[in-house]
Amino acid sequence: MKQKQQKYEDSMSIEEIKREVLRREKPSESDYRLLKEVFEYLRERGLRTFKEFNIKDAEITLVGSVAKDTWLKDDKDIDIFLLFPPTMSINELREIGLKIAKKIAPCRSEEKYAEHPYIEFTYRGVKVDIVPCFKVRKPSEVITAVDRTPFHTKYISERLTEEQRDEVRILKRFFKGIGVYGAEVKIEGFSGYLTELLILKYGTFEKTLEEVAKWRPWRVLIDIEGYYEEKSFRRQFSSPLIVIDPVDPTRNAAAAVSLQKMSELIAAAQAFLREPSLFFFYPPKPRPISCQELIKKISERGLHVVAVRFEHKYLVPDILWGELKRSLKGIHELLEREGVMVRDSTIWSNERDTSIVLFEVERIKLPSSEMHIGPLVYEREHAEKFLEKYRTSKNTYAGPFLHGDRWHVYRMRKYCDVRDIIEKNIGNIKLGKDIREAVKKKGVKIYVDSEICELLNGKEFAQELRRFLDKKPPWMVNHNEDKDY
């Protein structure tokens, strides 16, 4: 029955796929009613709280995808902004705004941080963010980054047609399915606002994909309001994708989009147009890899896998992922500097207290000697120092000798094992600040090849490890035949 369903879904037309996605993703009347009730209830609490604090000329407004009616059925997230007069200082906004936000919350809330603090809580199954900001007259007067958000909401709400709101929903689900949705540091992809701008620009889901399929990184400029001439925009921005924010021409709404995510979208758009399938929207999760499968894959490809495990305190996700990416880069550079060729790398985290960086490397044992390239023969002062250092050194295996016009020497390698390279140097490389503190307190645990089996108790990590080793994007998997998906 499952194979029959899969074949049916593979043979659907684009229009049939769009209808099915909307059937699954468009909120029902009861969904709308719930969110309206929650907002009105919190708004009333907010107005009373403003009076208690004697705050005048302040407003409460709904922003984001719910306000613009581009939200997906299962994304019941409400963004409520408390707009304070710009006569307040930023410190007053942070202090008073946070106190008022906490008092509005009818249940236990969690303090979050962006440019300034806000709160998050769940009420009646709806995730709510209450964010203080300044009530400015126009985008050019923004004091903090979030002050711009109400203008985004107004701009999109006034321009999207009813049909286009559904097109946004379909495009959002496509972005989620292929893994490029979200401007947060973890994803570095397409925000909800950027998704809406693409539909405003191109009109429909399929037209957007047709245009995306022709994109070339560093060559695309989308300027809906026509602020820039074609030749002048590069002097202002430098990103793989440039989408001028219609409410603020000094801002690139696609600044968060990495070259990787832009390329993944281009490839997925081309593939979908070539062979439409519902699997682009709802890819199945991979089956967790077993220890036996891990060992077999390592043996078959003749490469090695190294896992570096950090135990750390809880960090806000954007901070955590920023630090993990910095740490991965630091270890990657260390390995290559020491002569270990890194084929691929990735990060997994439970986003609470444990994170793992994974490396696929060509070898884990290195020769005891390494060739060290010295100065040019005619750089007399440097050459003499080089010869003096290595001519009688106990660490010299061969040389010094000339190869072309440069001095060379074979010298003893300090570390010959990947584990030693990382353990002995982890405190001296670029790491995220909090990751560095965690390493000082608890060190790191390093697992090589079959040792990684110790980490496979966790389902999510085992799934991520399979993705890392298989490499193939989910939309490229033959879902009728591949038993791992």
E strand or H helix at 319: helix 317-337
Query: 291-365+416-476 adopts what CATH topology?
Result: Alpha-Beta Plaits (3.30.70)
Beta-ladder partners of 120 = 110, 129
Residue ranges matching CATH 3.30.460.10 in the chain? 22-144
Q: Compute how many other C-beta atoms are within 10 angstroms of the C-beta atom of residue 313.
A: 11
Average per-residue pLDDT for the chain: 92
pLDDT > 80? residue 305: yes
* DSSP-assigned letters across all residues of 201-217: HH-SHHHHHHHHTT--T
- Quick one: pLDDT at residue 355? 96
Give this prediction's pTM: 0.90
Helix, strand, coil distribution of the chain in percent, nearest 5: 45, 20, 30
- pLDDT tens-digit profile of 456-482? 998 999 999 999 999 988 888 765 556
pLDDT > 90? residue 390: no
- Quick one: pLDDT at residue 370? 80
E strand or H helix at 311: strand 304-311
Of residues 45 and 384, the one with the higher pLDDT is 45
- Quick one: pLDDT at residue 316? 87
Answer yes or no: are the C-beta atoms of 66 and 117 closer than 8 Å: no
E strand or H helix at 403: strand 396-403
In the Cβ-directed half-sphere of 251, how many Cα atoms lie within 13 Å?
Answer: 14
Torsion of CA 112, 114, 118, 120, to 10 degrees: -50
- pLDDT tens-digit profile of 400-424? 989 889 989 888 888 889 999 999 9
- Quick one: pLDDT at residue 351? 94
Query: 369-412 adopts what CATH topology?
Result: Alpha-Beta Plaits (3.30.70)
Q: What is the mean pLDDT of residues 419-439?
A: 93
pLDDT > 60? residue 7: no
- Quick one: pLDDT at residue 232? 64
Q: What is the mean pLDDT of residues 92-104?
A: 94
Q: Using 50, 70 and 90 to split pLDDT, how confident is the model at 117?
A: confident
Answer yes or no: are the C-beta atoms of 348 and 473 closer than 8 Å: no
Q: Which two tokens stand for residue 26?
A: 């468009």
Answer yes or no: are the C-beta atoms of 153 and 67 closer than 8 Å: yes
Q: Which two tokens stand for residue 118?
A: 């806000």
Q: Compute how many other C-beta atoms are within 10 angstroms of the C-beta atom of residue 425.
A: 17
- Quick one: pLDDT at residue 458? 85
Q: Which two tokens stand for residue 6?
A: 């899969």
Out of 5-19, 27-41, 175-189, pick the least confident: 5-19
Q: What is the mean pLDDT of residues 232-261?
A: 89
**CA–CA distance, 481 with 134 (Å, rounded to integer):** 55
What amino acid is encoded at 98 in this protein? L
Would you give the distance in Å from CA 367 to the centre of its chain? 37
* DSSP-assigned letters across all residues of 410-456: EEE-S--BHHHHHHHHGGGS---HHHHHHHHHH--EEEEGGGGGGGT
**CA–CA distance, 168 with 3 (Å, rounded to integer):** 30
pLDDT > 90? residue 104: yes
Residue ranges matching CATH 3.30.70.590 in the chain? 291-365+416-476
Beta strands in 195-267 (DSSP E): 220-222, 241-245, 248-252
pLDDT > 70? residue 6: no
Q: What CATH number does the domain located at 22-144 have?
A: 3.30.460.10
**CA–CA distance, 397 with 399 (Å, rounded to integer):** 7
Answer yes or no: are the C-beta atoms of 132 and 116 closer than 8 Å: yes
**CA–CA distance, 364 with 308 (Å, rounded to integer):** 14
Of residues 123 and 114, the one with the higher pLDDT is 123
